[in-house]
Amino acid sequence: MKATQLSFAMQPKKWFSMSIFIIVLTISFFATAQEKQSQKKESGSLFQIYYNNTVFKIKNEKGAIVAEKKYAQLTQTEKKLVPSYLVGSKTTPTKEELDELLKKGGPAEIIVDAFDPKNVKTKKEDSNAVYNTSEITVNPEFPNGMEAFYKFVGENFTMPKTPNDVKLSGKTYVSFIIETNGEISNIKVLRDIGYGTGEEAVRVLKLSPKWTPGKVNDEAVRTAYSLPITIQSKS
């Protein structure tokens, strides 16, 4: 059996060493910069670091500003309306570029208008419809957040046995649906690196506890979710 490493990125409040090396989404490439910044700030959230000095002005349905908030005070619905700190960037920034971006910070103020027609989400007529995250107002969430999800996967994933001369390295892409009751269904392996890595990812996801479902205007909906699992065995 080959030794393996597991490391995570995103919401970097803690780092885990486990049996699989998992990177979730583009932010995972910023691990070093995140760790450095999280030591300087109370929160490890890159968004909160970037928008630390930004004032968010909240509009009501009449277009009047009714509140001013810091990023940490925003609701999930409001946070979904906050532009990415990488908006306009066509390439993944280097560690130095990310450090400089976070040091510069966001604009002095941002208007958050959930009632703007372009921001209003509507529920589909089909009660069995599946939504992507851009169509909902509140994203689904694993119990205690994504760090807990990474830990759950790492603790339950068993590295497939391979010949001594085979070193596993690559990504297994999986997708699934988070149902309105929080259960995971329709687990699919979009691509894997062989040796049973896809089957093992499915097995682990079937063990998942219930998530908090995604919502459209406070009503739970079926939500499509996908992520890559990067596996790298180490001699």
What pLDDT, on the 0 to 100 scale, is given for residue 25?
33
| Backbone phi and psi for residue 157, each to the nearest 5 degrees, phi listed first | -80, 125
Residue 78 tokens read as 């409001």
C-alpha distances in angstroms, 87 versus 82, 93, 166?
Answer: 11, 12, 40
Please choose, from the candidates 118, 161, 116, the residue with its C-alpha nearest in 3D space to the C-alpha of residue 1.
161
Per the CB < 8 A criterion, the answer to whether 50 and 44 are in contact is no
Buried b / exposed e over 20-54, threshold 16 CB at 10 Å, is bbbbbeebbbbbebbeebbeeeebbbbbbbbbbeb
Q: What is the pTM of this model?
A: 0.62
What pLDDT, on the 0 to 100 scale, is given for residue 5?
41
What pLDDT, on the 0 to 100 scale, is given for residue 1?
44
What pLDDT, on the 0 to 100 scale, is given for residue 223?
96
Size (the chain), residues: 235
What pLDDT, on the 0 to 100 scale, is given for residue 210?
97
Mean pLDDT of residues grouped by 10 in the chain (235 residues)? 40 35 34 34 64 93 93 88 74 79 90 87 89 91 88 86 80 93 96 90 95 93 88 69
CA distance 73 to 89: 27
Cα torsion angle, 37, 15, 137, 125, sign: positive
Strands 214-216 and 169-178, by their bridges, are: unpaired
Please choose, from the candidates 9, 2, 20, 46, the residue with its C-alpha nearest in 3D space to the C-alpha of residue 171.
20
